[in-house]
């Protein structure tokens, strides 16, 4: 395959050189065609002279060669691109696998970081909710106790209840201050989580690209193996057709994967068999 690639690349260089020369010559031929002398019949209509016909023929020949070479160049580009993919398939697969490992590691690390941040956010929120609920319950209990002490008229009980209400009130205020302080921390954590998510999305894209790189290399490698076996199968199939083996060859239709290569069926095998006999 490497030698075939070199041959196609050399042919492409030759075709490009020929095209350049022909394209340089074409304007002169077009000018010669325009300036070629003509004669006129008795009605005054122009009649090309032998010189004019020769100029037109020369211009058409060069234009035809240019078109043919441009078509050949397109075909060569397709073949070279395919061959380069096959030749570089193993290197591409190895590079893609290395990138995949690195990208997967990055995705895993970022996933762990995002999980830690989310867990911390949930912990802060739960602790805050618990602190607020405890303070509110304590205040409610202290107020109820104060109400009962007030109803009983016991001074010592009222004093203790009032102290409990004051302590619970302070605890509620502290819980509120804690919520304010936590709000800033939660905002910072949410911002960090969003930044990590964006970075993780980018890492996922890198991972997908790496996997696609591996797949492309494998497609080129396996496709070349398929085409090689298909060519061998065609040769053997033609031999079988040449000795009148029809079924199940008549059911065969084998694709080829390289650019410009057609699939083959039983009719193609028969045709090849006839050519061999001739």
pLDDT tens for 191-215 read: 999 999 999 999 999 999 999 999 9
CATH T-level fold of 89-277? Helix Hairpins (1.10.287)
User: What is the arithmetic mean of pLDDT over 103-117?
Assistant: 95
Least confident of 4-13, 110-119, 138-147: 138-147
pLDDT of amino acid 48: 80
pLDDT band at 146 (very low <50, low <70, confident <90, very high): low
Characterize 103-130 residue by residue with b for buried, 16 or more Cβ atoms within 10 angstroms of its Cβ, and e for exposed. Answer: bbebbeebeebbeebeeebeebeeebee
Average pLDDT of the segment spanning 93-115: 96
Would you give the distance in Å from CA 247 to the centre of its chain? 43
H helix intervals, 88-154: 89-152
Q: What is the mean pLDDT of residues 43-63?
A: 88
Predicted local confidence at residue 105, as pLDDT? 96
- Give pTM, 2 decimals: 0.70
Selected residue with higher pLDDT from 146 and 243: 243
* Strand pairing category for 253-254 and 46-48: unpaired
Model confidence over 158-169: pLDDT tens digits? 777 678 777 777
Burial of 136 from C-beta contacts in 10 A (0-12 / 13-18 / 19+): middle
Residue 178 has pLDDT above 70, yes or no: no
Q: What is the mean pLDDT of residues 177-201?
A: 86
Distance CA 183, CA 62 (A): 80
What tokens were used for 189? 């954590």
At 245, give phi and psi (nearest 5°). Answer: -85, 115
Q: What is the mean pLDDT of residues 230-258?
A: 92
Q: On the CB side of 63, how many CA atoms lie within 13 Å of its CA? A: 11
Can you say whether the dihedral through the CA atoms of 153, 154, 155, 158 is positive or negative?
negative
Mean pLDDT along residues 212-224? 96
What average pLDDT does range 250-272 have in this prediction?
92
Across 13-37, average pLDDT: 94
Average pLDDT (52-59) is 92
């Amino acid at each position: 395959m490497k030698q075939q690639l070199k041959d196609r690349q050399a042919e492409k260089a030759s075709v490009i050189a020929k095209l350049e020369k022909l394209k340089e010559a074409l304007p002169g031929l077009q000018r010669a065609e325009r300036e070629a002398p003509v004669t006129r019949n008795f009605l005054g209509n122009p009649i090309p002279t032998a010189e004019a016909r020769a100029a037109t023929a020369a211009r058409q020949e060069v234009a035809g060669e240019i078109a043919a070479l441009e078509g050949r160049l397109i075909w060569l580009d397709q073949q070279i691109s395919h061959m380069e993919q096959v030749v570089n398939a193993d290197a591409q697969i190895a590079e893609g696998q290395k990138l995949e490992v690195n990208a997967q590691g990055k995705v895993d690390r970022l996933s762990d970081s995002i999980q830690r941040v989310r867990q911390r956010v949930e912990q802060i929120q739960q602790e805050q909710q618990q602190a607020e609920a405890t303070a509110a319950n304590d205040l409610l209990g202290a107020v109820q106790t104060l109400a009962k002490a007030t109803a009983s008229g016991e001074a010592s009980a009222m004093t203790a209840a009032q102290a409990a209400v004051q302590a619970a009130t302070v605890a509620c205020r502290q819980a509120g201050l804690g919520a304010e302080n936590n709000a800033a921390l939660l905002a910072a954590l949410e911002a960090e989580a969003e930044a990590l998510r964006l970075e993780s999305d980018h890492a996922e894209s890198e991972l997908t690209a790496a996997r696609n790189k591996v797949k492309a290399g494998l497609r080129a490698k396996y496709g070349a193996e398929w085409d090689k076996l298909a060519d061998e199968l065609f040769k053997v199939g033609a031999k079988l057709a040449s000795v009148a083996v029809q079924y199940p060859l008549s059911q065969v239709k084998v694709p080829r994967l390289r650019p410009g290569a057609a699939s083959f069926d039983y009719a193609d095998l028969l045709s090849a068999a006839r050519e061999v006999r001739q």
